[in-house]
Amino acid sequence: MKESRFDISSAGLHILGMVIMLMDHAWVTIAPSHDWLTWVGRIAFPIIAFLTAEGYFRTKNFKGYLGRMILFALLAEIPFNLMNTGGSGFFYPLHQNVLFTFVIALLLMRCIDKVRDKFEKKAALVMFFSGAMLLVGYLLGSFLFVDYYGAGVVTVLIFYFFHERKWWAFILQAICLYYVNVEMMGGLTVPMELFGQSFELHQQSLALLALIPIWLYRGRKGNESVLFRFGCYFFYPAHMLLLVALMLLGVRI
């Protein structure tokens, strides 16, 4: 008999990421007094960033994958703007939705792979180019004001560079995510008390908890239907529109 082991499928990760994202965006719109929602919400982005890198490795049609990401990035921009302006503005140039973050990351991963294929015997050149693309991604994300800014693009690239299911890759993922979320992004702190001792926890450091479900993923797809795949894309603009509508109707939790 085969030994059973617990794992989480790609579909499961998608659902988990969407549920936690909904919680975070509910805090932004209809539940601003429930800070725990945004604390938990820190977990969503690394999961979806990982899935973007995983999708890049698994897709057989990069242009189609990139095209879908661009299409839904455009569709989601107005709902995203409405959510971030409290329902008052369709246009908000200082913050673009997270799918644009992923578009930048996808283009950079493609560029790195093209150079790696062309200069596969020149490891030093490939490493230098990869580092340069990491810097380019950070600068593009920051200057274009995409969601999570340059740190968001870097997060996707971390999962691209350390994609293997090896102990050393897991350690490097954790170290890099800690640096990105605590040192680069910083942000608010959460007062905590443990064994009678008070301390402050970086709110963004809670994003590292995303590594638990990510490491439980072993390549199983789960639901492979086209309906599910496009449902995940549609969820992003649709849930923001719903939350904005509830907010404008005066719903508060």
Q: Which residues pair with residue 185 across a beta bridge?
A: none
Mean pLDDT value of segment 27-49: 96
Looking at residue 10, its pLDDT comes to 95
Looking at residue 2, its pLDDT comes to 46
Looking at residue 123, its pLDDT comes to 87
- Show the tokens assigned to 130: 């990869």
The mean pLDDT of the chain is 92
pTM of this structure: 0.93
In the chain, % of residues over pLDDT 90: 79
Is residue 41 over pLDDT 90?
A: yes
d(CA 224, CA 217): 15
- pLDDT tier, 192 (very low <50, low <70, confident <90, very high otherwise): low
- pLDDT tier, 190 (very low <50, low <70, confident <90, very high otherwise): low
Looking at residue 121, its pLDDT comes to 81
Looking at residue 1, its pLDDT comes to 36
Evaluate whether 59 touches 15 at the Cβ level (below 8 Å): no
User: Residue 173: exposed, middle, or buried by beta-carbon count in 10 A (0-12, 13-18, 19+)?
Assistant: buried
Q: Which of 236, 231, 210, 222 has the alpha carbon at shortest distance from 147? A: 236
d(CA 238, CA 243): 9
